[in-house]
C-alpha cells in the first residue's frame, strides 16, 4: 500500500454562536507514503460524534484515534500480505468489514502479548475501543454485516452503567485473549477434550480432513506432538523425519524459525513466530501416519499442477498455493471447530456441552498432548516440560495441578453420591467408599 493511516491534532476555525473560534481537533488522516501528503479521513467523524460531543479531553480522543489507526493499518498490511480473510476488503472497502476481521486483530494482539511485545491491558483497551467503533459503523450503516450487540449493567466508579458487550468475544469467532488476571482467567479456557477422549481428538482430525485438508496434518501434529500454531506454519518439508517403511524409527519435527524462507514478503510477523526451536517427537499414532501420507500426496498433486508457490513449505494453501500463514491457519481451525461442534450437537450433546462451556482455539492442541503425557503415560511435570518444549516448569505444573484438582473433585462427587445412599448407616469409612 502506498498510504497509511495517521492521527493528527490540528487547529481549525469552528463556528459557534455565529462566531469563528479557533479550536484543537483530533483527525484520523491518510498519508501518502511517497509524497507525504496528509488528508483528513471521513472516519474522523467517529471521534467527533462519539467523544468530542462528550467533551472528553483531547488526549483521550487521541488515544481512541490511535487505536483505530493501528487497526486500520493492520488491515492494510494484511491486504498487502494477501491474507485470505482480508483480500476481499481490497475490493469491497470499508463496507466489507466484518466481525471476523476485528477478531483476527485481537487474536494478533494476544499473540504479541505471548511474545512479550505488549501487555495484556492493551488487548483489553483495543477490544473496548473496537467495540465502540463497530457499533458506530453499524449505526451509520457503513458496513454490510449485521452485527447484534448485547448490553449488560456494570458498576463503574460505584455507579451502575449500561455497557455494550464485546461482539468479538464470540464462541464462533474463536477470538483468542490473553490468559491473565487483567483480562480473562485461566479457568475460562478449555485445555483439552477430556481425559481419555481420543475419540473426540480423532473425530476432530477427520472433520479437519474434510473442511481444511491443507492444515489437517498440522492439527494432528498439535494434538499428538504439542506444537504451537506458529511452530506448525514454520515447518518445511525437510523438517519431518519420518519412520521407515516397516514402521520402525521415530517421527520427529525440526522446529525452528523459517520465516525468511516462507514469509519473507509479509509485513506482519507475530502470527508465525517460533517460541522455542527444538526437535519435537510426535506420537506415531496410526491416524497421524495416515494423515502424513495423505498430506504428501496433496503436496505432490499441487506440485504437478504448478499450484504450490513455495517448494519448501510443508503447508501450502489449497486456495492460493502460498505457505499457510498463522492468521490463515487460525481462521481455518475456527472453521473446523464450528463444524465439529455442529456435528456434536446432533450426535453427542454431553460432549457438546463440555466443549462449549469454555473458550478454546489452536492452543488446545498442547493441552491435549499434555493430557496424554500425564494421564495416559503418567509423566512427571519435569518430563512434560521437556516434551512440550516449555521454558518454565510452571507451565506444566499449573496444568497438572488443575487436572489433579479436577479429578479429585470428580472423585469427591462420587464419594458424596455414594455416601448419600448410606444415610441410614451410623458410620461409613472413606476407604470403603473409595473402594
Q: Is residue 188 part of a domain?
A: no
Q: What percent of the chain has pLDDT over 90?
A: 57
Question: Distance between alpha carbon 100 and the CA centroid of its chain, in Å?
Answer: 11
CA distance 339 to 334: 9
Q: How do residues 173-190 score in pLDDT, each as one tens digit? A: 889 998 754 444 446 788
- Contact of 259 with 272, CB cutoff 8 Å: yes
User: What pLDDT, on a 0 to 100 scale, did the predictor assign at position 290?
Assistant: 95
Q: Is residue 193 part of a domain?
A: no
Domain with residue 307: its CATH number is: 1.10.443.10
144 phi and psi angles, rounded to 5 deg: -80, -40
Selected residue with higher pLDDT from 435 and 348 = 348
Q: Is residue 166 part of a domain?
A: yes
User: What pLDDT, on a 0 to 100 scale, did the predictor assign at position 391?
Assistant: 64
- On whether both 401 and 366 belong to a single domain, the answer is no
**Which three-class secondary structure state does DSSP give residue 3?**
strand
Buried b (16+ CB within 10 A) or exposed e, 52-86: beeebeeeebbbbbbbbbbbbbbbbbbbebbbbbb
- On whether both 431 and 352 belong to a single domain, the answer is no
Provide the mean pLDDT of the chain: 85
Range of the structural domain that residue 52 is part of: 3-182
- On whether both 115 and 62 belong to a single domain, the answer is yes
182, 215, 241 - which closes a domain: 182
Q: Is the pLDDT of residue 33 over 70?
A: yes
- On whether both 422 and 362 belong to a single domain, the answer is no
Q: Is residue 187 part of a domain?
A: no
Instruction: Go through the chain and tell me how many residues it has.
Output: 435
- On whether both 276 and 368 belong to a single domain, the answer is yes
Q: Is residue 11 part of a domain?
A: yes
Q: How do residues 259-311 score in pLDDT, each as one tens digit? A: 999 999 888 878 888 988 999 999 999 999 999 999 999 999 999 999 999 99
- On whether both 378 and 396 belong to a single domain, the answer is no
Q: Is the pLDDT of residue 392 over 70?
A: no
- Name the H helices within 147-250: 198-211, 216-225, 229-233
Q: Is residue 90 part of a domain?
A: yes
Q: Is residue 133 part of a domain?
A: yes
Question: Distance between alpha carbon 256 and the CA centroid of its chain, in Å?
Answer: 21
- Contact of 258 with 214, CB cutoff 8 Å: no
- On whether both 244 and 134 belong to a single domain, the answer is no
Q: How do residues 56-109 score in pLDDT, each as one tens digit? A: 678 888 999 999 999 999 999 999 998 999 999 999 999 999 999 999 999 999
- On whether both 53 and 159 belong to a single domain, the answer is yes
- On whether both 332 and 231 belong to a single domain, the answer is yes
Number of domain units in the chain: 3
Contacts of 424 (CB under 8 A, 6+ apart): none
- On whether both 89 and 213 belong to a single domain, the answer is no
pTM of the full predicted structure?
Answer: 0.77
- On whether both 355 and 374 belong to a single domain, the answer is yes
182, 211, 229 - which closes a domain: 182
252: alpha, beta or left? (left if phi > 0; alpha if psi -120 to 50) = beta
- On whether both 55 and 156 belong to a single domain, the answer is yes
Q: Is residue 371 part of a domain?
A: yes
* Strand 252-255 to 278-281 pairing: antiparallel
CA distance 435 to 428: 12
Amino acid at each position: 500500500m502506498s498510504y497509511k493511516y495517521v492521527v493528527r491534532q490540528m487547529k481549525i476555525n469552528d463556528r459557534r454562536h455565529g462566531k469563528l473560534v479557533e479550536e484543537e481537533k483530533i483527525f484520523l488522516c491518510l498519508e501518502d507514503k511517497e509524497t507525504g501528503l496528509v488528508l483528513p479521513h471521513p472516519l474522523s467523524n467517529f471521534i467527533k460524534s462519539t467523544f468530542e460531543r462528550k467533551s472528553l479531553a483531547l488526549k483521550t480522543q487521541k488515544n481512541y484515534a490511535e487505536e483505530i489507526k493501528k487497526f486500520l493499518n493492520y488491515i492494510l498490511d494484511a491486504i498487502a500480505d494477501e491474507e485470505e480473510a482480508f483480500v476481499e476488503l481490497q475490493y469491497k472497502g470499508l463496507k466489507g468489514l466484518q466481525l471476523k476481521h476485528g477478531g483476527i486483530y485481537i487474536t494478533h494482539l494476544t499473540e504479541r502479548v505471548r511474545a512479550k511485545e505488549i501487555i495484556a491491558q492493551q488487548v483489553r483497551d483495543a477490544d473496548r475501543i473496537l467495540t465502540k467503533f463497530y457499533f458506530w459503523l453499524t449505526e451509520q450503516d457503513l458496513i454490510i454485516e449485521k452485527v447484534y450487540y448485547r448490553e449488560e449493567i456494570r458498576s463503574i466508579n460505584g455507579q451502575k452503567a449500561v455497557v455494550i458487550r464485546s461482539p468479538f468475544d464470540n464462541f464462533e469467532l474463536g477470538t483468542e485473549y490473553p490468559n491473565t488476571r487483567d483480562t480473562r482467567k485461566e479457568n475460562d479456557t478449555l485445555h483439552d477434550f477430556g481425559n481419555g477422549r481420543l475419540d473426540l481428538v480423532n473425530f476432530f482430525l477427520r472433520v479437519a480432513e474434510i473442511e481444511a485438508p491443507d492444515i489437517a496434518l498440522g492439527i494432528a501434529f498439535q494434538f499428538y506432538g504439542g506444537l504451537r500454531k506458529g511452530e506448525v506454519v514454520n515447518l518445511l518439508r525437510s523438517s519431518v523425519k519420518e519412520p521407515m517403511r516397516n514402521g520402525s524409527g521415530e517421527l520427529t519435527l525440526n522446529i525452528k524459525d523459517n520465516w525468511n524462507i516462507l514469509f519473507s514478503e509479509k509485513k506482519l510477523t507475530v502470527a508465525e513466530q517460533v517460541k522455542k526451536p527444538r526437535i519435537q517427537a510426535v506420537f506415531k499414532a496410526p491416524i497421524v501416519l495416515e494423515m502424513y501420507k495423505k498430506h504428501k500426496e496433496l503436496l505432490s498433486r499441487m506440485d504437478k499442477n504448478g499450484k504450490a508457490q513455495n517448494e519448501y513449505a510443508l503447508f501450502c494453501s489449497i486456495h492460493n498455493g502460498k505457505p499457510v500463514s498463522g492468521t490463515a491457519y487460525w481462521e481455518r481451525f475456527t472453521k473446523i471447530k464450528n463444524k465439529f461442534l455442529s456435528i456434536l450437537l446432533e450426535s453427542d450433546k454431553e460432549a457438546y456441552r463440555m466443549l462449549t462451556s469454555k473458550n478454546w482455539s489452536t492452543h488446545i492442541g498442547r493441552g491435549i498432548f499434555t493430557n496424554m503425557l500425564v494421564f495416559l503415560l503418567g509423566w512427571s511435570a519435569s518430563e512434560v516440560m521437556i516434551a512440550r518444549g516449555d521454558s518454565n516448569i510452571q507451565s506444566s505444573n499449573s496444568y497438572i495441578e488443575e487436572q489433579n484438582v479436577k479429578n479429585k473433585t470428580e472423585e469427591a462427587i462420587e464419594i458424596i453420591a455414594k455416601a448419600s445412599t448410606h444415610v441410614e448407616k451410623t458410620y461409613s469409612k472413606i476407604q470403603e467408599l473409595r473402594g
